[in-house]
Structure 1
């Protein structure tokens, strides 16, 4: 879990963290506690590197180590 939190920071993680902090601070200042939950959710997503569809993510493409990526096979269609 330490590696998840400390590594892989990119633009989207910083954006979620910034939005989460802004929403959390503004909702606490205005006593909008239900909105503070949304800000906390954005912060949690940024820290844990999870998106909204983390469970439905597509798997990474499998690469065959024996194949040459420069070779492309074509099939002629008549």
Structure 2
């Protein structure tokens, strides 16, 4: 659980978190409980990295490390 919360943070995930916090702040300021529940849901989704499709179902796969290179050999044609 700790790994899900603290890893794989992207710009889009930060943006979703900021929008969820903004919804939550507006709900507290207007004292609207239904809006507050929506704000909690929109804030929890990026924290736990879940979305409409389930746990990271719609997310792009993490970038794979491809540091290994294959040596190319050439033959001289005469």
TM-score band by shorter chain is: 0.5 to 0.7
How far apart, CA to CA, are the structure 2 residues paired with 1:35 and 1:14? 21
How far apart, CA to CA, are the structure 2 residues paired with 1:11 and 1:51? 15
Q: Equivalent residues in 2 for 1:1-78 (5 A)?
A: 1-54=1-54, 57=57
**Which protein is bigger by CA-based radius of gyration?**
2
> 5+ residue gaps in structure 2?
62-78
> 5+ residue gaps in structure 1?
61-78
Q: How many residues align?
A: 58
Give the alignment's TM-score, normalised by structure 1: 0.67
RMSD after superposition: 1.7
Give the alignment's TM-score, normalised by structure 2: 0.67
4+ runs of 1 displaced by more than 6 Å?
none
